[in-house]
Amino acid sequence: MCATTKLQAAQIPIKDDAAANEAALELVRKDKLREVRAGHDGTWAAHPGLIPAIREVFEGHLGGRPNQIGDAPAGQEPATVAAEDLIQPPRGARTVDGLRLNARVGVQYLAAWLAGSGSVPLYNLMEDAATAEISRVQNWQWLRHGAALDAGGVEVRATPELLARVMEEEMARIQAEVGPERFRQGRYAEARRILQPAVHGAGARRLPDAGRVQPHRGAPSRRCVAVQALSVVGIVVAFE
């Protein structure tokens, strides 16, 4: 194996819904087909249950070859990328639902991380520390620039006040989803206390550090930095 990908398809098997499970597997197959056609010889799997489907895609494309050295990517011309291409803002919808999902997933992942888990299944996807950081930074960018968000056909501006209300409502949703006892025993409130200031940073023009924690009242002043170690979030699959 000479070239492998990082984790791309984050779907995981869905045990209690055959139709949803097949739909998830089909998304994985499509993603892995794109990877192998781009010249990769191996890939990451988010869950051991995905390996049979991934092997089928890669072995079918490789046809017994150990690697694709010297092969041009299927149907592709060499890419030409200029400096200005790298600084183009992304295109796509910005929504209040997206703000909510970022807040909810960020809190749930961080709560699990504080409890000792490096990777966590959330909403049938395997999430890791990158998820929490992407969610945090995207919400910060929207607040920093006062982005216009679609709220079901109504345009609203991203503000710290909107985020505070969203966080309150999403905490209630998390409690409803996991149950009162698990919510009480979990570290969701602590995760929110860390995450919310790390998003809006009291209106800071510069992105706040991840993991900057305000000390408890009466506790010694300190700065707690969440050190992100390399967590095992996937399984490298190589085909020989």
121 exposure class (CB count in 10 Å sphere: 0-12, 13-18, 19+): middle
pLDDT in tens, 16-31: 899 999 999 999 999 9
Domain architecture of the chain: domains with CATH: 1-88+232-240 (no CATH), 96-203 (1.20.1220.12)
pLDDT in tens, 122-134: 888 888 888 888 9
pLDDT in tens, 152-181: 999 999 999 999 999 999 999 999 999 999
Tell whether the model's pLDDT for residue 75 goes beyond 90.
no
Using CA atoms, how far residue 231 sits from 55, 59, 111, in Å, is 24, 28, 16
Q: Which residues contact 113 (CB under 8 A, 6 or more apart)?
A: 120, 129, 132, 226
Which amino acid appears at position 224 of this protein? Answer: C
pLDDT in tens, 20-69: 999 999 999 999 999 998 888 888 888 889 899 999 999 999 888 888 88
Contact 41, 238 (CB under 8 A): yes
Q: Of 11-20, 75-84, 89-98, 223-232, which range is least confident?
A: 223-232
Tell whether the model's pLDDT for residue 2 goes beyond 80.
no
Region 209-220 average pLDDT: 44
- The phi, psi pair for 178, rounded to 5°, reads -95, -15
Tell whether the model's pLDDT for residue 121 goes beyond 70.
yes
- Dihedral angle of Cα 188, 147, 9, 6, to the nearest 10 degrees: -90
Query: Strand pairing partners for 126?
Result: 121
In whole angstroms, what separates CA 237 from the centre of its chain?
A: 21
Three-state SS annotation for 78-134: CCCCCHHHHHCCCCCCCEHHHHHHHHHHHHHHHHHHHCCCCCEEECCEEECHHHHHH
Q: What is the pTM of this model?
A: 0.71
